C-alpha cells in the first residue's frame, strides 16, 4: 500500500488532478477495496532504469492505462514496482 500511495501522490503532483481517472486506485487507498495486487506488482517489462537517485519514479502507458514505476533505492539497485494509476480522464463536453 505504501508503494501505491507513493505512486498516486507522484502522479497527481506531476500531472495534476484532471489528467487521470484515479477512482479505482483511490478506492483502494481509502480502504473501500482490498485487491492491492490488482494495482501493485512487478513491472510489466523489465527495462534498465537510471540509478542516479535514491528513489525514482517513471510514467508508463500500458494500453489505455497509465502506470508509474516506483524504483526504491534506485542508486543501490533496489526493487522496482509498477502501480496502475488509471486511464486518462475523458474531457468533459
Mean pLDDT score across all residues of the chain:
92
- Which pTM was predicted? 0.89
- The pLDDT-based confidence of 45 (bands split at 50, 70, 90) is confident
Q: Answer yes or no: is pLDDT of 78 > 80.
A: yes
Burial class (CB in 10 A: 0-12, 13-18, 19+), 18: exposed
Q: Which residue has the cell 542508486?
A: 75
Amino acid at each position: 500500500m505504501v508503494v501505491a500511495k507513493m505512486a498516486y501522490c507522484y502522479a497527481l503532483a506531476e500531472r495534476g488532478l484532471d489528467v487521470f481517472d484515479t477512482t479505482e486506485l483511490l478506492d483502494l487507498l481509502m480502504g473501500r477495496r482490498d485487491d492491492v495486487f490488482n494495482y501493485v506488482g512487478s513491472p510489466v517489462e523489465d527495462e534498465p532504469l537510471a540509478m542516479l537517485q535514491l528513489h525514482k519514479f517513471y510514467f508508463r502507458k500500458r494500453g489505455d492505462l497509465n502506470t508509474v514505476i516506483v524504483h526504491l533505492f534506485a542508486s543501490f539497485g533496489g526493487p522496482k514496482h509498477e502501480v496502475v494509476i488509471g486511464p486518462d480522464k475523458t474531457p468533459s463536453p
